[in-house]
Homo-oligomer: A and B are copies of this chain.
Amino acid sequence: MSPESVPVVEKIMDANDQVALLNRKILDEAGVFAINIMASPGAGKTSTILRTIEALASEVRIAVIEGDTAPVTIDSDKVKAVGIPAVQINTGGSCHLDAPMLTRGLEKVDLNSIDLLIIENVGNLICPASFKLGSHANVVVASIPEGDDKPYKYPNIYRGLEVMIINKIDLLPYVDFNMEYFRNGAKILNENLVFFPVSCKTGEGVSKWTNWLKNRIKQQKELAK
């Protein structure tokens, strides 16, 4: 982005935040807990969503909004295949979801019949960090083969983040990855960050993440009463 375009973008971002507040209000009134899942391409956002559905679908009513930069339905088809409603938002080449896109997505979801809304953002570690959607928690899925230096190199996404899922721990024996170095890099940016090392391939560690999520959904229901 060139320096000349910054003021325009700042105006867009202010407007975005206003719409994000409206989205949050819509979600709160319906008693829906919403999470915004962000990651690099291929870190395992969709795999995390499928494992989350597998763990929670018997007790929690779930819907998914899928953000994609291209008009392909690979991810939303996977979600629908396990019986969960999925709405696709094609960003038309843009590198992130924004709050107005989510507003249009929310119109297509029956919010009164769900407890949890999972929003899968576009695969990108940079741009989604700048656009609030109105969700209750921001979640980043990192993955072992991406390397342990990512918090140092892509710091913005770690700020305003609540949960860090570290996926593909089944690959730890084959990849140089220093978990302490990674965690320290993220903790410097965000000392309250909660970490869940998982393998969406084997299922290891997933229940800790889904238990955390179940508690947060319950809290949201209490607040809505």
Binding site for B on A (CB under 8 A): 1-2, 4-5, 8-9, 12, 15-16, 40-42, 68-70, 72, 74-75, 93-96, 98, 100, 122-127, 130, 143, 145-147, 149-150, 152-156, 168, 170-171, 174-175
Contacts and interface: CB of A to CB of B under 8 A. Distances in A.
B126 A42 contact: no
18 contacts: A1-B12, A1-B94, A1-B98, A2-B100, A5-B8, A5-B9, A5-B12, A41-B125, A41-B154, A42-B147, A42-B150, A72-B153, A74-B149, A123-B125, A124-B125, A124-B126, A171-B174, A174-B174
Say how many copies of this protein the assembly contains: 2
Contacts of A146: 40-42
The 5 closest A-B pairs by CB, nearest first: A42-B146, A145-B145, A95-B126, A1-B94, A40-B41
A12 B4 CA distance: 9
A94 to B, nearest CB: 5
A150 B143 CA distance: 16
Contacts of A147: 42
Nearest to A69: B126
Given A94-B1, A95-B126, A124-B124, A74 B153 contact: yes
Given A70-B155, A123-B126, A145-B171, 19 more contacts: A1-B95, A1-B98, A4-B12, A40-B123, A41-B153, A42-B145, A69-B156, A70-B154, A72-B152, A72-B153, A93-B126, A93-B130, A93-B156, A95-B126, A123-B153, A124-B127, A145-B168, A170-B174, A171-B175
